[in-house]
Amino acid sequence: MSASRFIKCVTVGDGAVGKTCMLISYTSNTFPTDYVPTVFDNFSANVVVDGSTVNLGLWDTAGQEDYNRLRPLSYRGADVFLLAFSLISKASYENVAKKWIPELRHYAPGVPIILVGTKLDLRDDKQFFIDHPGAVPISTAQGEELKKLIGAPAYIECSSKTQQVYMFHLFVLYMILMSRQSLMRPLRWCSSHLSKRRKRERYKRAAPYCDQGKNRSAKSTSHSPCSLFSLPCAFPLFLALEEATTSVYSLNCQY
């Protein structure tokens, strides 16, 4: 079955926080035991929603400083970023605001960022912290605080080892749900392949939906209803995620 929609998702974050494991765990249902630093890698997964196939183009990037000049080349055309930090590494947590947000805002302004805390299975592992006395656990409250600080629409904690990598399903459902609610501009499916004329025609058709969103959010200046992932205050993110989670396990995933 050919995909009718395409989403380019790029994962970023410090080296060794588990970005590659997260993608491999999702696309192959396996957990890699050996750590091999990534330069660039691509994965793909198809998710069937209401009979329509959505293809996820998952781009893996290197977090090491040696690749600071090459990494932004993968940002072009991104629909969403998964910004990952380790729940057992304070340094990776702090680098979200210090390093990654400035980089993403510089090279890909306006693209939504989903904040992801990885290695959830180790946060409550007492033996791990005995063996690694320098490790510092990051609480859910700290993750939520960071989400607010960087203006991310969502914060998700996951574990690749225990197959808790449902954030991919969530953001696919979220994007489709928001499109159906007509609260924002239609999604930029394969926008890089559209001609300028087709883009103008599409945005003209989308204008009424954007106007409706502006009217509903007139009392609030903290949201931009016409940007991807942004919602009027009358429809907050947690409601979308709450509705999405009710059907997340009914998805027919084809790898």
> Alpha-carbon torsion 144, 150, 153, 155, what sign?
negative
pLDDT number for residue 132: 94
pLDDT number for residue 203: 43
Which residue in 90, 115, 120 sits closest to 104, CA to CA?
115
Which residue in 183, 200, 182 sits closest to 191, CA to CA?
200
Q: What is the tally of helices (H) and strands (E) in the chain?
A: 9, 7
Supply 137's token pair.
Answer: 């656990």
pTM of the predicted protein model: 0.68
Residue 2 dihedral angles phi and psi, to the nearest 5°? -80, 145
Q: Please give the chain's pLDDT, 255 residues, in tens.
A: 565 678 888 999 999 898 888 888 777 777 566 555 554 467 787 877 667 788 888 898 887 777 788 899 999 999 889 999 999 999 999 999 999 999 999 999 988 899 999 999 999 999 999 999 999 999 999 999 999 999 998 899 988 877 655 666 666 666 566 555 533 444 443 333 344 454 455 444 434 433 333 333 333 333 332 233 333 222 333 333 333 333 332 233 232
Residue ranges of the alpha helices (H) in 112-188? 120-123, 126-131, 140-150, 167-181
The yes/no answer on whether domain 5-173 falls in CATH 3.40.50.300 is: yes
Domain boundaries, the chain: 5-173, 183-254
> Which H or E element spans position 86?
strand 80-86
